[in-house]
């Protein structure tokens, strides 16, 4: 029997698989980060304090990505899900605006981009960019 809490963890965990893959990759690249800082808007998945940068890893469904996976909508309660995802998207935009206003640079990595060979370069470029540029 699968406990409800286990299902919830699988569905909406702070340690979701795509996030773990990104964490491991960044760690392997030699960068150190903090996780889910509660004092920052949206509790970013990864925070690079000295670089003043944050990374979010977004699930395509939950955060309403414009990709195939993100467009797939459950047929039952479709309206409920659509509204829920719209709220998530609005919250994501608001979070990104506040972070930018507080001087943070934000990179969003979508779940569907995880296996992209360019991901490593993208991360490295983002993290090495001069923050004052």
Chain contacts with Zn ion (rule: CB under 5 A): 60, 65, 67, 70, 110, 112
Least distance from Zn ion to the Cβ atom of residue 71, Å: 9
Least distance from Zn ion to the Cβ atom of residue 1, Å: 32
- Signed CA dihedral, 115, 20, 28, 122: sign only: positive
Least distance from Zn ion to the Cβ atom of residue 50, Å: 30
Comparing CB distances to Zn ion, the nearer of 74 and 129 is 74
- The span from the CA of 101 to the CA of 119, in Å, is 26
Q: Are 81 and 133 in contact (CB under 8 A)?
A: no
Q: Are 107 and 123 in contact (CB under 8 A)?
A: yes
Comparing CB distances to Zn ion, the nearer of 40 and 85 is 85
């Amino acid at each position: 029997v699968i406990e409800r809490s286990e299902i919830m963890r699988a569905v909406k965990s702070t340690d979701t698989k795509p996030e773990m893959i990104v964490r491991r990759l960044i760690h392997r690249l030699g960068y150190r980060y903090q996780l889910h800082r509660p004092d920052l808007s949206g509790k970013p998945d990864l925070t690079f304090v000295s670089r003043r940068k944050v990374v979010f890893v977004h699930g395509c469904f939950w955060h309403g990505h414009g990709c195939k996976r993100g467009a797939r909508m459950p047929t039952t309660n479709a309206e409920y899900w659509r509204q829920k995802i719209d709220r998530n998207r609005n919250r994501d935009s608001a979070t990104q605006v506040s972070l930018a206003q507080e001087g943070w640079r934000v990179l969003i990595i979508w779940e569907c981009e995880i296996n992209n060979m360019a991901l490593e370069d993208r991360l490295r470029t983002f993290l090495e960019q001069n923050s004052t540029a």
